[in-house]
Amino acid sequence: MRLFNVLFEWKAALYEKKIAKMQAQGKCPDCNGIGANPLIMHEFAYIDRYDCPGCNGSGLFSDWAKVNGRHS
Ligand SMILES: [Zn+2]
């Protein structure tokens, strides 16, 4: 299916663009530098903060790059 390939490449290109942008700002692309996963932040989340698995909760691009095996 050609359409799926185009969609996949478009998404991958968007993701790479975001990574480049976050790298320039020194922020983790997964949590935008917050250090916590925003998807988990609902009314019950105040009990304990859910650290972002991409950067181990630091919100730094350098940590994200280490975890994901990328060179910064
Ligand atoms: Zn993160």
Q: What is the pTM of this model?
A: 0.70
pLDDT band with cut points at 50, 70 and 90 for residue 19: very high
pLDDT at position 2: 82
- Under 8 Å CB-to-CB from 49, ≥6 apart: which residues? 36, 57
**Count of other CB atoms within 10 angstroms of residue 64:** 27
Measure 55 CA to ligand 1 centroid, in angstroms. 4
Instruction: Tell me the chain's radius of gyration from C-alpha atoms.
Output: 14
Decide: 36 and 51 in contact? Cβ < 8 Å.
Answer: yes
pLDDT in tens, 22-66: 999 999 998 999 998 755 555 555 555 678 889 999 999 999 999
Measure 9 CA to ligand 1 centroid, in angstroms. 24
Provide the sign of the torsion angle of the four alpha carbons 28, 31, 46, 40, taken in this order. Answer: negative
Decide: 37 and 59 in contact? Cβ < 8 Å.
Answer: no
